[in-house]
Amino acid sequence: MQLPVFDIITQACRDTWENRRDFAAFAFLPVFVVSIVATLMAAVVGDLRVIFDNPGQLPPAAVARMFFGSLADWFARFAVYTVFAVAWHRRTLVGPEATTIGAAMRWGRRHWRFFRRLVFLFVNLFALMFFVSILLRNIIPLGLALSPMLISMGLIYARVALVLPAAATDTPMTVVESARLTNGNSWRMFLAVVVLPLLVILFGGIAILIVALPLADFIGASMTARFLTTLVAQSVNYIGFAVGITALSLAYRKLTA
């Protein structure tokens, strides 16, 4: 079947807005935790751009600190996203009555399953992108190949992403089964579960910049200012996540009906 992609996008945006109280309740703790971790890691790790600005000039201890600090930061991001995503998928697919705030914040076997699948997908996608970039580096400049590579990775993710709502609802599904169910809907899935949340995050980020830039001199560059900026940015990110998760849940429901 062909997914009614624009109906899914419209419904995902409308559902997130109409259930903004649920969103605030489910997203508050993940946003707060990831903002604290990101702020602390930025203070401990420092600016990662120095690796690219001064390659080979950093002491091994500093490189190790940056590597393990970044790893801890990403682990925390994936973990808190898992807590939110499982609750939001279940709110859409199982029903609001099946997901209380207490249950949503309590890590269990279902979350481990979702977390493993999420990490598996992203690790394999980044590994594939890395190897493809190595193969193409002598054929085409990386700058020209980057956009097609990112779109290809997005299309692959969109085809296999049904394993995530399946994990959230305790339904067995493999990436092969997900690819089979989404056959013929690659671009529709890509628009709904990749492009849509990225656009929400992008336009939300632009709005934050417009508001925050005039306040930059006032709030300064303290840890508190960095935390508040990160908190606002993560709030916008989670709005995008909520819209994308809802769209993925709606696509999953239609393709598995």
Query: Could you please report the per-residue DSSP string of 22-72?
Result: HHHHHHHHHHHHHHHHHHHHHHHH--THHHHHSTT-S-HHHHHHHHHHHHH
pLDDT at 50 over 70: no
Nearest to 84 by CA among 256, 234, 206: 234
CA–CA distance, 62 with 68 (Å, rounded to integer): 10
pLDDT bucket at 14, cuts 50 / 70 / 90: very high
Predicted confidence at residue 188, as pLDDT, reads 95
Which sequence spans correspond to the domains of the chain? 5-256
Band of residue 240 on the pLDDT scale cut at 50, 70, 90: very high
pLDDT tens digit string along 144-160?
Answer: 777 888 899 999 999 99
Provide the pLDDT confidence category of residue 227 given band limits of 50, 70 and 90.
Answer: confident
- Asked if the model's pLDDT at residue 13 lies above 90, the reply is yes
Query: What angle do helix axes 60-93 and 20-45 make, rounded to 10 degrees?
Result: 170
**Count of Cβ atoms closer than 10 Å to residue 67 Cβ:** 13
User: Over pLDDT 70: what percentage of the chain?
Assistant: 82
Is residue 102 scored above 60 in pLDDT? yes
222: pLDDT confidence band, cut at 50, 70 and 90? low
Q: Which residue has the tokens 């993925």?
A: 248
- Look up residue 187 and give its amino acid: W
DSSP H helices in 94-222: 101-104, 109-136, 142-160, 163-168, 175-181, 186-190, 196-212, 216-219
> What average pLDDT does range 196-222 have in this prediction?
74
Cα–Cα distance for residue pair 228/220, rounded to 1 Å: 11
Of 127 and 226, more confident: 127
pLDDT in tens, 52-100: 455 556 566 666 667 777 778 888 889 999 999 999 999 999 876 556 6
Asked if 253 and 169 touch (Cβ cutoff 8 Å), the reply is no
